[in-house]
Amino acid sequence: MYHLKVERNRSEHTLLGYGSDLRRFADWLAPTGRTQPVDVTRQDVADFMAHLRDAGLGSRSVARARTSVRQLFKYCMREGLVEHDPTALVDAPRFQQPLPTVLSGAQVEALLEAPNRGDPLGLRDAAMLELIYSSGLRVTELVTLPLRSVDAEIGLVQVRGKGDKERLVPVAPTALALMRRYLREARILHDPAGDVPEVFLSRRGGPMTRQNVWQRIQGHAKRAGLPGKVSPHVLRHSFATHLLENGADLRSLQAMLGHADISTTQIYTHVSRQRLQKLHATYHPRGQWRYDEP
């Protein structure tokens, strides 16, 4: 775990998941007497995967467990503790990647207009919503965003994302204007001395939490009459999908989202395609029924 935390800079959430998977693997191996990495075979790993499936774990959880065990043996290979990786030939379970939820342009507008900008907390929420949709920030990136990272002159924000990687993301003029107003009129009420480094503050003057942001956004979504659960990530998905639909290329979108692998970004091409199919089925005269070819 020290290797993952210090050398690989994995998040606490990831470390908890890996730790849980590896403890489960060790407990499962215990009756066999194979307690050292060098003793573990490919069949052991395959049988463990089958055990997890039989226990009712979903494909995504089984795949994560395989990744956890695989990371362990990659480390063991690097340190010379084993000569062969027993996970190398064990296939990951296949699962259908769910398409992310995306708001329409009209729904985004309704959500952005929902906060009461005459109220300090409402003004803060309006600035947060505009920034997430303008720049595609993750909620953790939003709540940890320091004041010094915002360059209002050139319209960029410096974001520290997953793996402690930094990226520069453009900010729309509307979002910048709201952030300036929030800093000038609302934030100063909760941190008059300017001691707190984060941009967005709670009612008590401390940094916002992920849970608090989620609750505030869900409340505004209800007031806007939007169906289902609207989370910060739904706004991030909407940012990415709307950019693609308006001509952005995948590589630029990958850089703005902070994805390490472009395959993660490609999910938005499927979302865009699905939305086009729904539009066709709804509005084309022959979209609702099948007909024979002439």
Which residues are identified as catalytic? Answer: 138, 162, 233, 236, 259, 268
CA distance 140 to 127: 16
The alpha-helical segments, DSSP class H, found in 114-172 are 120-135, 139-143
Cβ atoms of residues 49 and 66 within 8 Å: yes
DSSP-derived secondary structure letter, 207: B
DSSP-derived secondary structure letter, 34: -
State the maximum Cα–Cα separation within the chain, in Å, rounded to a whole number.
Answer: 76
Pair type for strands 166-170 and 150-151: unpaired
Nearest to 175 by CA among 195, 197, 207, 145: 145
Find residue 167's DSSP bridge partners.
Answer: 159
The alpha-helical segments, DSSP class H, found in the chain are 2, 12-29, 42-54, 59-78, 105-113, 120-135, 139-143, 173-182, 188-190, 210-223, 232-245, 250-257, 262-265, 267-283
CA atoms 54, 66, 97, 161: torsion sign: positive
